[in-house]
Amino acid sequence: MELNTLIAALLLGLLISLLTILASIAESKKWRRRPPGPRGFPLVGSIHHLLTSQPQAALRDLAERHGPEVLQASDLSFASRPSLLAGEIICYGNADVAFAPYGAYWRTSRKLCVLELLSPSKTRQFAPIRDRETMALVAEVRSSGGAAVNLHRLLVSCASSITAMAAFGDRCSGELMEQFLPAVSFVISSISGFCFSDLFPSLRFLDVVTGTKRRLWRARRQLDGVLDKIIAENEARRKAKDDSDGNGDPLSAMLRIRDEGGFEFPFDTTNIKAIILDLFTGGTETVSSIAEWVMAELMKNPDAMVKSQEEVRQAFRDADSRDHESQIEELRYTRMVIKETLRLHPPLPLLLPRLCQKTCTVGAFEVAMGTRVIINAWAIARSTEYWSDADEFRPERFADGVADYKGTRFEFLPFGHGRRMCPGSGFAIASLELMVARLLYYFDWSLPNGMRPEELDMDTTVVGAAARRTNNLLLVASPYEALMEI
């Protein structure tokens, strides 16, 4: 009996060992099909590679060593978003367009944004707002009297005013904006997907310990307070039958949809606030950041500055000052400058994270369902595979006119790609082009304190999802003769 028991135990041990070996082989084969990556550590994996102010550069270096990422042919598989802490808190449970998971609600709300709020006809309708606010920017620069101006501050103010007036319909006072802008800035700095709970769900308590969750809720309350006041003013005006100045703004349009129905899903004030927040964060951060980078690149490259200013002044010379926007199409070189700036300095170097909806094959590798995917737009735009002298500022590379802002060329993705591309790119570009053109038309620019172009720093700091100049751009403006006529 004891011998039989011993034999049985040995056979059982051998069977367990065999099964363990077979399982290890199967797991090894499975992992061989996974995309290769850097060496990791227990618990933290490979996250230490991203602990830098330039995560996009770190990811590019890893990609060069461990293989290319190919998402173009699998856009639908990667069309969803992971649930991030900032999206859950700030965006009202991912009720906006940017963070909503892929599905019927996202498709319907995006359609609302594109057709009702951000269509080409709506963008044209906002032309008077862009005209008024960019001329206010010109007046602000002119008032400096030859002293160095903080162009970053002025551009943020201009972009936020354009966006607020377009989104709210002239209903955001200076006091409300003072409360709103800091909260929006914090939102942008928090949506990278690199919070503890976003990376390690089991360690979500660390977001409480570090105060991240508390700060997000504080920003949410600030945003709620401002948006509630703006919506209340709009509703009061509508009840008084005095909304003639707001028939075309997105807020009024969404309030009508809320009250009259017609949306496929429950659509209340929470949804409205989430979508308005998307419009505001995108319209303010993208436009002001890129306009600042355009001016910095032109100061760094004086020949490009001269060529751009000559073009703008030729096009605007005989035009009505209230209708400069109609002449933008003639600014072929200046528009190439803007594209080249967007290539070198994409507003979101790492596009918002995507989520793999089903296990699929990318190249020769298997990407499991639930995998979080980061598209490195910055690395793509600086890849020598697509661009010669990729780190050099050469606007002429866009002379063929093929690359546009629609994400049709995978090597140029300033506003994303595919189903998750930013729906407000047309609105942003219209504001950006007029801001830059008028700054070039009305002023000659120089660096302060005798600084030479080659001494101008071009350092970048990634704050959350956005990339900004590390130091604000300070320039001296000298009025051009055209300014004397207005």
Dist CA 66 CA 64 (whole Å): 6
Three-state DSSP state, 362: strand
Q: Which of 422, 333, 349, 353 is nearest to 381 (CA)?
A: 349
Q: DSSP letter at 373? A: E
In this structure, is the dihedral angle defined by the CA atoms of residues 458, 462, 467 and 470, taken in order, positive or negative?
negative
Contact 123, 94 (CB under 8 A): no
- Note whether 321 and 486 are within 8 A (CB): yes
| Sign of the C-alpha dihedral computed for residues 355, 359, 363 and 364 taken in this order | positive
Specify which residues 445 forms β-bridges with: 477
CA angle 472, 165, 274 (to 5 degrees): 85
Gap between the Cα atoms of 188 and 219, Å rounded: 11
Contacts with 458 (C-beta within 8 Å, 6 or more apart), sequence order: 296, 300, 469
Q: One-letter amino acid identity for 262?
A: G
Identify the helix (H) or strand (E) that includes residue 474.
Answer: strand 474-479
Q: List the beta bridge partners of residue 355.
A: 80, 372
Give the single-character DSSP code of 321.
Answer: G
Tell me phi and psi for residue 145, to 5 degrees: 65, 30
Amino acid type, 347: P
Binding residue ranges: 422
How far apart (Å, rounded) are the C-alpha atoms in residues 31 and 480? 64
Two structure tokens written together for 282 = 């995108």
Distance from C-alpha of 369 to C-alpha of 2, rounded to nearest angstrom: 50
Contact between 304 and 338 (Cβ < 8 Å): no
HSE-up of residue 308 (Cα within 13 Å, Cβ side): 30
Q: State residue 347 phi and psi, 5-degree precision.
A: -60, -35
Neighbour count for residue 310 (Cβ, 10 Å):
13
Question: Binding site residues for heme, as ranges?
Answer: 422
First to last CA, the chain: 109
